[in-house]
Amino acid sequence: MVALKEGEAAFAASLPPRLGLGERACLAVAAHRRGLLATDGLDARETARTHRVPVTGTLGILILAWRQGILDRLEANELLGAMITLGYRS
């Protein structure tokens, strides 16, 4: 768990209420600490882009894990297949 700093908490509070508390907190941390926001939520992704915060999603993380050799192609494909079976959509 990461505690929000004062400026981050104020920024999170200024974000659209349609975003969840967790989305707002993560976006605030990414914006203030020059991080990457990992989310599949369309509203969160659009808000991040508005604030020039780089964004990735589940597929981006899966591809990165394959490119870095954390997963081989078969493992990545198996994980993607399992995600789809469980209802993942992109």
pLDDT of residue 2: 86
Please state, for a pLDDT cut of 90, what percent of the chain lies above it: 96
- Give tens-digit pLDDT for 56-86: 999 999 999 999 999 999 999 999 999 999 9
How far apart CA 90 and CA 77 sit, in angstroms, is 15
Q: For 8-30, how does the pLDDT look when each residue is reduced to its tens digit (9 = 90+)?
A: 999 999 999 999 999 999 999 99
pLDDT digit string (tens) for 30-54? 999 999 999 999 999 999 999 999 9
| pTM, to two decimals | 0.82
Which neighbouring-strand residues pair with 55? 37
Has residue 89 got a pLDDT over 90? no
Tokens of 43: 């509203």
How high is the pLDDT of residue 88? Answer: 92
How far apart are the C-alpha atoms of 65 and 60, rounded to whole Å?
Answer: 9
